[in-house]
Structure 1
Amino acid sequence: MLSLLISLQTLVTTAKDRLREDQKGATAVEYGLLVGLIAVVIIGVVVVLGPQLGDIFTDVSEQLPASDAPKPAVPAAG
């Protein structure tokens, strides 16, 4: 009877350990998917709003007072 209880306790302990390891792996996968989704959203926003943001920064930089520093080169559109 004692042997059966020890075996049962070992089985439960092993199952708990495996479940914890599986949860850690599942959590890592979930975080990876979340990071991927956030990256896709950021890329989408940049693609959609990029030209408008560029125009806003250009307007702001043109309204600033001139300085002795040279203006940065503007990349060609396209």
Structure 2
Amino acid sequence: MSLWRRFYYEETAVGVVEIILILVVLISLVVIFKKQLTSIVNNIFKKITTESNKI
């Protein structure tokens, strides 16, 4: 039973490391493409505003 507990905790630690690495990659992508993302979001909000004014 001790072997299974150690295996479980080792796997949990690996999962945490993977999640942290994924978050680091996502944050890096957002920082790299910040200008493009802000322009896309601004265009979407402008379109929503103009379309809602037509109603």
TM bracket, shorter-chain basis? 0.7 to 0.9
After superposition, give the CA deviation of every residue in 1:18-66 in whole Å (9 maximum; x if it has no partner).
110110110110000011001101110111112111112223433x226
5+ residue gaps, structure 1? 1-16, 68-78
Amino acid of the residue matched to residue 41 of structure 1? V
- Give the length in aligned residue pairs: 50
Give the match for residue 23 of structure 1: 7
Q: TM-score, normalised by structure 1?
A: 0.55
TM-score, length basis structure 2: 0.74
The amino acid across from 1:22 in the alignment is R
Identify the match of residue 59 of structure 1 among 33, 43, 49.
43
Between Structure 1 and Structure 2, which shows a larger proportion of helix residues? Answer: 2
Q: Which has the higher contact order (CA 8 A, sep 6+)?
A: 2
Q: Percent identity?
A: 22
Instruction: Establish whether residue 36 from structure 1 lines up as the match of residue 20 from structure 2.
Output: yes
Runs of 4+ deviating beyond 3 Å: none
Which of the pair has more CA radius of gyration? 1
Quote the RMSD (CA, aligned, Å): 1.6
